[in-house]
Amino acid sequence: MTTATHPGATKAPDTAAFNHWVKSALTDHSRASLLKHDWRKLAMAELPLSEAQHEHLVGIPVADATALQAAIAQVVDFGGTIHIERASETSAGTLVVKSASKVGSKSVTVEQSLEPNLSVGIFHCTFNAHCRNWHCGWGPSKSK
């Protein structure tokens, strides 16, 4: 873990800490509601982010941030998972958002219900080792 410089922060979260945080937020109704409406605001309020992490979260391109927020809202509403995958704490990573909904009695991924031609139900964002250069979209995870 790195030392954080954001006011009130002590240690910047590593991958495991972020994954634990998001899982706990999804299981707490009041926090899940906040996560659904503005995940970055909740993360900045609850996680001890470094100054760089804070700046990079704020700097996620608007289109990517909007699409990511919608994917997270689907997980809150219909279930699913959100986690970061990284080879190491100093490597680039992928934020994976996999949502599911129920259509009738059949469980399907959200974009299958929205876009019948798609079979992959994963929204992902890639970022570099410094939590910058975010690229987000639906479909299989791809490195850029």
**Can you give the chain as a three-state secondary structure string?**
CCECCCCCCCECCCHHHHHHHHHHHHHCHHHHHHHHHHHHHHHHHHCCCCHHHHHHHHCCCHHHHHHHHHHHHHHHHHCEEEEEEECCCCCCEEEEEEEEEEECCEEEEHHHHHCCCCCCCEEEEEECCCCCCCEEEECCCCCC
Task: Supply the pTM of this predicted model.
Answer: 0.69
Look at the chain and report how many structural domains it folds into: 1
For 94-122, write each residue's pLDDT tens digit.
Answer: 888 888 764 433 333 333 333 333 333 56
Q: Is the pLDDT of residue 1 over 70?
A: no
Average pLDDT over residues 132-138: 76
Residue 132 lies in a domain: yes
Within a domain: residue 6?
Answer: no
Expressed as residue numbers, the domain containing 48 is 15-138
